[in-house]
A and B are shown apart, each in its own frame.
Chain A
């Protein structure tokens, strides 16, 4: 039976049945190095359910043509599917209008778009952009680039030893010259869920716009951009069971209207002559060129899939896995969990005394266990904790306690071999 057939409200549903859910994901049946795959690298990229794979191949097999262009049947079908996907994404994040939902390559492109189109024309030398120490490089480097271009300065909110963004220090950093707050909703390296409501409230009171990097949040938390009251929200398809190369930039319509396009080309124009070009309306103004049509359709299929399972049930299943994993991991001698905020997404970043994370990654792979090792594109976080790298196991709703047992057993093998 497919796990997608659930239609009752989530609160009334029994907990997710991991076996039924796993049957939806073809890759989970494979073996690696002669062992069943334990895929615990979901914060890097999640796997795809059959429903997403079928939506993409079904589109290519039946309806592919370019969008917004032709009067022929296939072009109309492709346009309907693409714009239908935009409406699905609008509903998913509760944006007011599809004019606020811009398809981009992913979170990284979304942040770069805001840095270049929103921030760059406005920033003056001495203006300040505030980010936190927890950020992924994608929410650091685009701001550094725009600071170099404009003479603005980057201010960084410190974190605590538990891996929480320091709220009091944040208040101290806000000032006359603060022009933007760019904050992770959930830390990719540590799993910390940042209580963004408090930060947004303080920033908005002072008239400071807020961008949230939701790459790690969108698959695990209910995102409501109106309730959050943020100005920009960025997320990627591939971390929420959708395709790679597609993501969403949500922007408050009044801000998007005032922003210049950041790439020029087809689709983003109404009329072009060599003297003057009239730009298209939102959201197309920011979607130059033929978009990733199949990606948008696949991402909408992922949203439908996740919503059918129930976002609350998904969150409950992942929290239960995190609790179990935390308890089991701490039984491994010499293991230390890095990032111990009270509210975390299902991410366990850790070190094992005497075994370098990179060796852990290789030894675990031989046991069929896939984890991420390294700096997780968050070198400042590693520097803060004084480690060159960590091992990171990150869980999705299709993972099982048995897989966590495999992880722990493989860690014991690694310790015996090297520590």
Chain B
């Protein structure tokens, strides 16, 4: 177990300087996510142009893994279609939970930096919270998303 595997430079950078960290008053969709174990809370905003995600941002507070994961998510899904974003969610889910999953940089890009999280089972929920929240926003689920 090496901490450097968890807190890679990309993650530390996105935690210190989260991208697209702003409210979006004219969002088409938004959803709230909550991780009761560590108190992570985030709101994800999505603007749609047809079935394409034209803008995405987030706000909230959380640990380095959850903030960095949300920040990386916003960079990764902007410009994608909803179906494409859902495929990315499935790939991320596999990366975070399946021991034998291999991060394919061609599919995941910078998101591959989160592959170390699965060595820390207590932290998987931190990384996946924003993805579940995005899923809820895209499907207009009114209830806040909880990792529990």
Interface CB pairs A-B, < 8 A, 24: A33-B1, A355-B64, A356-B38, A357-B38, A357-B63, A358-B37, A358-B39, A358-B40, A359-B7, A359-B64, A362-B3, A362-B6, A362-B122, A362-B123, A363-B7, A373-B38, A388-B40, A388-B41, A388-B62, A389-B38, A389-B39, A418-B12, A418-B15, A418-B64
Please list the 10 inter-chain residue pairs (A to B) with the smallest Cβ-Cβ separation, ordered nearest first.
A388-B39, A356-B63, A358-B63, A358-B38, A389-B39, A359-B64, A366-B3, A359-B63, A418-B64, A417-B7
Number of interface residues, chain B, beta carbon within 8 A: 21
Interface string of A67-99 (1 = CB under 8 A from B): 000000000000000000000000000000000
Instruction: For A389, list chain B residues within 8 Å (CB).
Output: 38-39
Chain B CB within 8 A of A374 CB: yes
Instruction: State whether A388 and B6 are in contact (beta carbons under 8 Å apart), knowing that A366-B1, A374-B38, A418-B12 are contacts in the complex.
Output: no
Asked if residues B65 and A359 are in contact (CB atoms below 8 Å), the reply is yes
Task: State the CA gap A33–B6 with chains docked (Å).
Answer: 15
Asked if residues B126 and A358 are in contact (CB atoms below 8 Å), the reply is yes
**A33, A366, A388 — which one has the most chain B CB atoms within 10 A of its CB?**
A388
Instruction: State whether A362 and B120 are in contact (beta carbons under 8 Å apart), knowing that A33-B1, A356-B63, A417-B3 are contacts in the complex.
Output: yes
Q: Which chain A residue shows the least CB distance to B61?
A: A388
Task: State the CA gap A357–B39 with chains docked (Å).
Answer: 10
Task: State the CA gap A235–B19 with chains docked (Å).
Answer: 48
Interface secondary structure of B, over-half rule: mixed
| B34 shortest CB reach to chain A, Å | 10
Task: State the CA gap A6–B118 with chains docked (Å).
Answer: 48
| B131 shortest CB reach to chain A, Å | 18
Interface string of B1-26 (1 = CB under 8 A from A): 10100110000100100000000000
Task: State the CA gap A417–B63 with chains docked (Å).
Answer: 13
Task: State the CA gap A373–B12 with chains docked (Å).
Answer: 20
Asked if residues B64 and A356 are in contact (CB atoms below 8 Å), the reply is yes
| A327 shortest CB reach to chain B, Å | 27
Task: State the CA gap A40–B65 with chains docked (Å).
Answer: 24
B contact set with A: CB distance below 8 Å: 1, 3, 6-7, 12, 15, 36-41, 61-65, 120, 122-123, 126
Instruction: State whether A418 and B40 are in contact (beta carbons under 8 Å apart), knowing that A358-B126, A359-B63, A366-B1 are contacts in the complex.
Output: no
Task: State the CA gap A417–B5 with chains docked (Å).
Answer: 12
Instruction: State whether A356 and B62 are in contact (beta carbons under 8 Å apart), knowing that A33-B1, A375-B39, A388-B40 are contacts in the complex.
Output: yes
Interface string of A359-387 (1 = CB under 8 A from B): 10011001000000111000000100000
Q: Which chain B residue shows the least CB distance to A418?
A: B64
Instruction: State whether A417 and B12 are in contact (beta carbons under 8 Å apart), knowing that A358-B38, A362-B3 are contacts in the complex.
Output: yes
Instruction: For A358, list chain B residues within 8 Å (CB).
Output: 37-40, 62-63, 65, 123, 126
Q: Which chain B residue shows the least CB distance to A389?
A: B39
| A140 shortest CB reach to chain B, Å | 15
Interface string of A338-360 (1 = CB under 8 A from B): 00000000000000000111110
Q: Which chain B residue shows the least CB distance to A419?
A: B16
Instruction: For A356, list chain B residues within 8 Å (CB).
Output: 38, 62-64
Asked if residues A418 and B7 are in contact (CB atoms below 8 Å), the reply is yes
Q: Which chain A residue shows the least CB distance to B3?
A: A366
13 more contacts with CB within 8 A, not counting A358-B63, A362-B122, are A33-B1, A356-B64, A357-B38, A358-B39, A358-B40, A358-B126, A359-B63, A363-B3, A373-B38, A374-B38, A375-B36, A417-B7, A418-B64
Task: State the CA gap A358–B147 with chains docked (Å).
Answer: 15
Task: State the CA gap A362–B121 with chains docked (Å).
Answer: 11
- Give the residues from 20 to 58 in chain A that come closer than 8 angstroms, CB to CB, to chain B: 33
Instruction: For A362, list chain B residues within 8 Å (CB).
Output: 3, 6, 120, 122-123
| A283 shortest CB reach to chain B, Å | 36
Q: Which chain B residue shows the least CB distance to A354?
A: B16
| B59 shortest CB reach to chain A, Å | 14
Task: State the CA gap A226–B120 with chains docked (Å).
Answer: 48
Task: State the CA gap A382–B38 with chains docked (Å).
Answer: 12
